[in-house]
Amino acid sequence: MSISLRTADGVVFEATPSLTKNMKTVRTIIEDSDANVSVIPLLNVSSSHINKIVEYQTLSDDDKVKEFSVEDLNNDELKEFLLAVHYLNMESLFEVLTQAVADRIKNKNVVYVRNYFGIENDLTAEEEAAIRFKNSWTFDGAEVEPEEE
């Protein structure tokens, strides 16, 4: 019996061994299903995520870190892709994507990082000033802070 993957946007992919070999979540579902499952719904994964995963899987192990690119993804798309890969439990791709996020926030100011992750500033001006003073070394090389929006 063949098994398929249905993405959140309704696209169905054949669950070939080459596609699912690094998807621990899918492998576990297949192994635990006793062949009673024909379609596995992936509610946290879109067809564009599967297409990017296929692109990643086609690279050799030596080329995966060097050549796999997420430059075409905006910040929100990258974060969504990271969550999908985490859901699928794909360790090597997860490491590549977390490094891509780290590269995007490297040397950015606190306001940028806060906005990137959707974190609300709950500190008073005095608390923030005290933290900045105590940990001033952490701001070396970071972009200059813009005014809060």
Nearest to 104 by CA among 80, 56, 70, 68: 70
Give the CATH class of 4-105: alpha beta
**Under a CB-based contact definition with an 8 Å cutoff, are residues 42 and 6 in contact?**
yes
The per-residue pLDDT for 35 is 63
- Greater confidence (77 vs 136) lies with 77
Whole-number pLDDT of residue 1: 59
pLDDT digits (tens, 9 = 90+) for 77-134: 999 999 999 999 999 999 999 999 999 999 898 889 999 999 999 999 999 889 888 9
> What pLDDT sits at residue 66?
73
pTM, full prediction: 0.80
Tell me what pLDDT residue 17 has: 87
Residue 24, pLDDT > 80, answer: yes
| pLDDT given at position 2 | 80
Closest to 30 in 3D by CA, of 48, 54, 56, 4: 4
pLDDT in tens, 44-65: 999 999 999 998 988 877 777 6
